[in-house]
């Protein structure tokens, strides 16, 4: 008999901060006052901020209790498709918390911050080597900002060619950030459909690619978990019309050590260090979204860039074609240190192994759940596989019900209702850090849920029952927004 680990533990209730606070308490050791008090002019003085007052023990209990209402990678398997929720190594936390980095001011004179500049240079070299592209900027603070950097580079490049363009091709499988990033640069997104095999056909792209089109945004492997095997031909079509190819590297975890992104014709690629390179997601950020480019686009990368002169690392702004700056400072250094530590801990062979095992895990799940759940594209997948609720619809059970029921079995649900091309999508990305036993337990849970769907669908409609809260009323939240207390 399989024992599932979903259970209810000793989880305590906890009110809001200001319901707990009592005037006169404090959780802070006020620094010594060694200078005289100096009043500000009365017309400038504000009121004391309306922030609750709590003791240190109140604060610690409040947040420890809140933390216990969260599921996390450190607690269990988190197979969110497209999110690469792999284990976040603890040594990386130690490295990024090193006071030399954590307490360094960003505007330190160059001679006083050589360590960070050296690390950034080394990380840029690693990412260039891993992708096969020639130049890297670490500045973008997240994947979507990396995409924006990419679109700004497209825009600046076409303008530099003397012919700004107005459209961009975006496949129907793309993340929503793709069209949104393109729109920020004034591009109209031209949607193209993937074919019956779940990938793009060169003819489809050729039909829309013209000299008003700046290029194409491609996620490869795509969000169905399939490798876009016509990518080279598609890139040739786009290049022939003077366009550029953008690669969304969100799914890089599938192809480390396998694919040369430069060789297949991608001109600009962003990486999500918080996915492929194991930096923690932090409940929604911070991440980092370095942007990598082919040689001819290097002059357009964000400034400043680190250069080496006489063995000394220096900042340089001497890139007149640069798109400019995306963040006030240099990027999310705290995240960069973690990703660098990850790469240095694994090396080339292990990184390649990461992708092999990520792909093995996804294919294993795909094979074992095929038949239990509808598999719209039955072919070997990369790092994730996409099912749907088609077989469960007869019992009036939806993807949402399946997702909620998984919580009761002790798993975070997969990504649901994405990609949009698969109605009722269930997108599973196990990542390489899950063992066979964990996958087996997940598969058994999914099978048990499928059986419940047939025999007792009400259990699914009522799920979850073991979380801190039952299903929440999202409609009411949006209709009468209460966004602050």
Q: Which two tokens stand for residue 418?
A: 């994405």
Taking residues 405 to 444 in sequence order and writing x for each that binds another protein by CB under 8 A, - otherwise, the string is: --x----xx----x-------------xxxxx--------
Restricting to residues 120-149, which ones interact with another protein according to CB under 8 A? Answer: 126, 129-130, 132, 141-145, 147-148
- Taking CA atoms, 92 is separated from 280, 329, 336, 344, in Å, by 10, 22, 10, 10
- Binding flag, residue 56, another protein (CB under 8 A): yes
Residue 169's beta-bridge partner residues? 190, 216
At a CB cut-off of 8 Å and minimum separation 6, what does 347 contact? none
Inter-residue contact 251 to 383 (CB < 8 Å) = yes
Neighbours of 328 (CB within 10 A): 6
**Of residues 248-287, those binding another protein (CB under 8 A):** 255-260, 263-264, 278, 280-287
Q: Which helix (H) or strand (E) holds 217?
A: strand 213-219
- Nearest distance from residue 31's CB to another protein, in Å? 4
Within 10 angstroms of residue 375's Cβ, the number of other Cβ atoms is: 21
Q: Which of 1, 10, 12, 44 binds another protein (CB under 8 A)?
A: 44
- From 42-50, 237-245, 292-300, 390-398, give the range in contact with another protein by CB under 8 A: 42-50
Name which of residues 326 to 345 contact another protein (CB under 8 A): 326-335, 337, 341, 343-345
Q: Is 195 in the site for another protein (CB under 8 A)?
A: no
Q: Using DSSP bridges, classify how beta strands 312-316 and 425-428 pair: parallel, antiparallel or unpaired.
A: unpaired
> Residues 5 to 34: which contact another protein by CB under 8 A?
14, 16-18, 21, 24-34
Q: Say whether the peptide bond before residue 461 is cis (omega within 30 degrees of 0).
A: no
Residue 264, CB-side half-sphere exposure with 13 Å CA sphere: 24
Interface with another protein includes 356 (CB under 8 A)? yes
- Return the residue matching tokens 């130690």: 94
DSSP annotation of 32 reads P
Nearer to another protein, 220 or 388 (CB): 220
- Rounded Cα distance between 256 and 259, Å, is 7
Nearer to another protein, 159 or 454 (CB): 159
For strands 268-271 and 291-293, give the pairing.
Answer: antiparallel
Question: Cβ of residue 405: shortest distance to another protein, in angstroms?
Answer: 11
Nearer to another protein, 326 or 394 (CB): 326
State the DSSP H helix or E strand holding residue 425, giving kind and residue range, or none if neither.
Answer: strand 425-428
Q: How many residues bind another protein (CB under 8 A)?
A: 201
Token representation of residue 27: 């959780």
Of the candidates 318, 266, 272, the one whose C-alpha atom is nearest the C-alpha of residue 293 is 266
Q: Does 236 bind another protein (CB under 8 A)?
A: no
Which residue, 1 or 45, has its beta carbon nearer to another protein?
45
Interface residue with another protein, options 325, 371, 396, 451 (CB under 8 A) = 325
User: Segment contacting another protein (CB under 8 A): 35-43, 241-249, 390-398, 450-458?
Assistant: 35-43
Site for another protein in 148-177 (CB under 8 A): 148, 151-152, 155-156, 175-177
Residue 106 or 371: the one with the smaller Cβ distance to another protein is 106
365-384 footprint of another protein as x/- string (CB under 8 A): -xxx----------xx-x--
The least CB distance from residue 46 to another protein, in Å, is: 4
Query: What single-letter DSSP state applies at residue 307?
Result: E
């Amino acid at each position: 008999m399989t024992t599932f680990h979903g259970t209810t533990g000793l989880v305590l209730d906890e009110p809001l901060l200001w319901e707990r606070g009592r005037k006169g308490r404090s959780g802070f050791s006020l620094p010594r006052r060694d200078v005289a008090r100096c009043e500000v002019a009365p017309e400038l003085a504000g009121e004391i901020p309306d922030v609750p007052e709590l003791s240190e023990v109140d604060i610690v209990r409040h947040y420890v209790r809140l933390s216990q209402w969260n599921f996390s990678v450190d607690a269990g398997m988190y197979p969110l498709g497209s999110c690469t929720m792999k284990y976040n190594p603890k040594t990386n936390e130690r490295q990024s918390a090193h006071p030399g980095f954590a307490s360094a001011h960003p505007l330190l004179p160059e001679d006083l911050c050589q360590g960070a500049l050296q690390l950034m240079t080394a990380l840029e070299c690693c990412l260039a080597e891993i992708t096969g592209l020639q130049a890297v900027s670490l500045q973008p603070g997240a994947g979507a900002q990396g995409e924006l950097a990419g679109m700004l580079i497209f825009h600046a490049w076409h303008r530099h060619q003397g012919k700004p363009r107005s459209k961009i091709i975006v496949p129907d499988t793309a993340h929503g950030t793709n069209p949104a990033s393109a729109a920020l640069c004034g591009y109209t997104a031209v949607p193209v459909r993937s074919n019956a095999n779940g990938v793009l056909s060169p003819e489809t792209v050729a039909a829309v690619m013209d000299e008003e089109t700046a290029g194409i945004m491609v996620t490869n492997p795509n969000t169905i978990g399939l490798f876009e095997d016509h990518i080279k031909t598609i890139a040739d079509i786009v290049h022939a019309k003077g366009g550029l190819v953008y690669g969304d590297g969100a799914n890089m975890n599938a192809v480390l050590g396998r694919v040369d992104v430069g060789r297949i014709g991608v001109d600009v690629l962003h990486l999500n260090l918080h996915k492929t390179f194991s930096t923690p997601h932090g409940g929604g950020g911070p991440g980092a979204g370095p942007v990598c480019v082919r040689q001819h686009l290097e002059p357009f990368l964000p400034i400043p860039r680190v250069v080496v002169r006489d063995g000394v690392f220096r900042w340089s702004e001497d890139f007149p074609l640069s798109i400019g700056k995306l963040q006030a400072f240099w990027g999310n250094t705290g995240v960069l240190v973690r990703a660098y530590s990850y790469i240095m801990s694994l090396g080339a062979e292990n990184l390649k192994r990461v992708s092999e095992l990520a792909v093995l895990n996804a294919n294993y799940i795909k094979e074992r759940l095929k038949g239990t759940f509808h598999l719209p594209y039955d072919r070997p997948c990369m790092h994730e596989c996409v099912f749907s609720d088609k077989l469960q619809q007869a019992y009036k059970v939806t993807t949402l019900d399946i997702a909620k029921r998984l919580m009761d079995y002790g798993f975070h649900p997969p990504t649901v209702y994405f990609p949009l091309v698969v109605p009722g999508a269930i997108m599973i990305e196990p990542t390489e850090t899950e063992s066979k036993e964990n996958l087996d337990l997940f598969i058994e849970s999914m099978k048990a849920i499928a059986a419940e769907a047939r025999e007792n669908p009400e259990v699914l409609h009522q799920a979850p029952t073991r979380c801190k809260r039952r299903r929440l009323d999202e409609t009411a939240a949006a209709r009468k927004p209460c966004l602050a207390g």
